[in-house]
Chains A and B, each alone.
Chain A
Amino acid sequence: MSSAFKSLREMKMYRENFQTELIRIGIDSIPIVSLAAAFSGAVTTVQTAYQLVSPLIPPKIIGAVVVPSLTMELAAVVTGFILSGRVGARIAAELGTMRVSEQIDAIEAMGLNSVGFLIVPRVLAGIVMVPVLYITACLVGTFGGILAAELTGVVTAGEFLQGAREHFDNFGPYFGLIKAFVFGFLITAVSCYIGYYTHGGADGVGRSTTRAAVMSCVLILIADLVLAVLLL
């Protein structure tokens, strides 16, 4: 058996793991991310309307405020927080269980690279799928905002979109995408690391799970600020 053939076989397995993770991190998170984004959009719209209510300010400004808030901050951070709990905790629990039940040892004992087999596909899936979820969150969030605007009657959908278009900052979506990319890396990398180095039985798995969710959130907050300082 040539080693080139072996690594080909291995690549195939890594790819399969990657595809599984794309679904579990990305597709499976779409409903909850959409839900959170829709509500964020709606709440921001209602609150902006409340704060700006004045005959001197045209209501289309609401769209000009809500859409950049979503694209530059809310969509990315809300997605990140949800994935910290949903994906970060899951990854840490999964790898932690594999560690304490010697499944990681078993992978290594077969002569496979457990880091390549378990961690790389998850981190790659994270940096691919979090930006996708971010885009979803932007679209659904905007839709939630428009819906709230229409239902409460503060501004029509047309005015909302017109305001958003007139004050659209091209850098906004790029900035959000960069954030999403960084968050995707941070959540998966930190959760994999914590899970992979779990010790101490079921207790240890529990500790790792909590730690992964908390650490992911804290790192998102820090990265959010750092990126804002660096890029704006």
Chain B
Amino acid sequence: MTEAVGRSVPRKDGIGKATGRAKYADDLVFPDMLHGRTIRSTVPCGRLAGVRHALGPSFTVVDWRDIPGRNVVALIADDQPCLVEREIRHAAEPVLLLAHADRETLLSAWVALEEEAATPVFDPEQSPTAFKTILIEKGTLDAGFARADLVIEGTYRTGAQEHVYIEPNGVIAVPEGGGIAVYGSIQCPYYVHAALVTLLGDAVTHVRVVQTETGGGFGGKEEYPSMIAGHAALLALRARRPVKLIYDRQEDMEATTRRHPSIVRHRTGVTRDGTLVAMDVEVILDGGAYVTLSPVVLSRGTLHAAGPYRCEHVRIAGRAMFTNTPPNGAFRGFGAPQTQFAVEVHMDRIAEALGMDPIRLRDRNALRPGDTTATGQVLGADCSAREVLRAAVRKSGYRRKRKAWAGTDRGIGLSLFWHGSGFTGSGELKLASRATVELTATGVRILTSSTEIGQGTRTMHAQIVADAMGIPYEQVEVAVPDTAVVPDSGPTVASRTCMIVGGILQRAAERLRAQLAGLSPAEAFRRLGPLAVTEQYVQPEWIRWDEERYRGDAYATYAYGCNVAEVRLDRDTWEVRPLKVTAVTDVGKAIHPALATGQIEGGTVQGVGFALLEQVVMRNGAVANAQLTNYLIPTTLDTPALDVVLLEHPYPGGPFGAKGLGELPIDGPAPALVNAIRSLGLDLRAIPAVPERIMEAACASS
């Protein structure tokens, strides 16, 4: 039998998606279903004084007084209301919910909010409120700076970014018995489950959450679905009928989360030979109006802020700040793309200040096995920062091109980056994720709450289980994530679905296989009947993490990448065209090379958008360009040629050596592209690098 792992087997969901048969939330229809609509605040800060409408009895209307449990979207701080009571903290905050059988009638219904505006805070640096502060300290900064021949400082900024999953957020709530079922486009069914239990309290006998086929997530369907599911459930309970609540593109862009804008300041001491001796980093994230996931985004941001470099004296101080804007939230990379943009552009500026080749500077300081990170974690043999750097330089022809293109309108630049796999520190231990493998009449079935959102979860999990069981891939089925059926395997986030949940499944499959005593699953099912094995996450014994002091093993392991970007600058329009990105990536083991390549290609292009095109324009705390006409993501004509190279330095703790992959590719493109622009003599320290910004940099340097 051919093994499945390491082969690009057919996707489990390939044919359904290629024929249009796959069912997404908006494709489902339930008997007597109503359509839902959300009435939202228009001011960024103030007080709700009243609501006026003249809606007839054919409308279902819900406000905060109709919430049977607690009026919060349960997550970390429970500070965000599901519906505004009095205080308005941001524009597009949900106030009133309507449902009606006829969509046109619903959309044309007149509702007026009486809002008393107060003075908002938009600048995170002026905000009086920090949601979270983090301090990472290693060595003594003064001692480090005392050794420095040169100190280089800089401030770097990144803008907000929209997820632009092509399927907007949407759910359908369906009363069933005395309980409620919610079907929807979601990444984390158990997050939604927990939020609904808090919101609905004793009003329901049970809550069930079922993932429908999901048209992209990228973090945008991590925490927000708890809000929209709550709204649909409240309407459905009031109407006693199913309610479909699907956002159109504009509402999705106005109301749902975005990538945190950031300001990062570096002060770095180096010796003449290019050794980093002191790194002082300040990280500021704009959290928006409620805590949501900002503390954990800040955590990952600060933990990656020093880049994949060795340095004895490091201080990283981070804070996530309140502002009167819609809450920013999870987005692929989760703080790390912001802080690694800063450190990687800063590295090129250090190289310039030293008169040193930026590759040599990185090679000298890149983390090696046995080195310690800023939190004091000792890295294992799978640390491959220098290997990816060297491979990327070689494969891209970086040195030759850099030399040949000097003085032309072509530029080339590079970035070296890393990404921790799984939840931070003891996060995985607290999650205590579970996953099940059970016998069926034809093979086995996987039961997890890990969601397929495009990345290939079903396929990759089935490969791991097939090989661990020693059975053909075709004999492995994957259950639909339905909280009434599957155990809580934790959320589908943090580059954890392969390494962490895949690892649990591998152990479950091995234990089930041992119980079969040589019988095939189908034969065992006939003889023994149903049999299921559930395993729970077991933390490697060596992991130590001090949450108070931010010391220890921040992640079980890290994946590494290096991007080389080639660009052409048009000095008439100041547009930068990305020509090619060489992406060398080490994920330990590519369980499915074509899926892994697809993650890298897709993440890289999202990174190109983040770097060059995607600009969220805010006016008085609201998104001014909430449509795809003027918020631009890369089309086929905006993307560079991509050369993806996979390296494999296996991590012994991952299934078949695999590490996390999903987020890593978006960390590298922005700094590589800006460093390519820098090679043309333009000192750019903020993205998106739209023509206006490039022109300003050109004017400043001339």
A and B: partners?
no
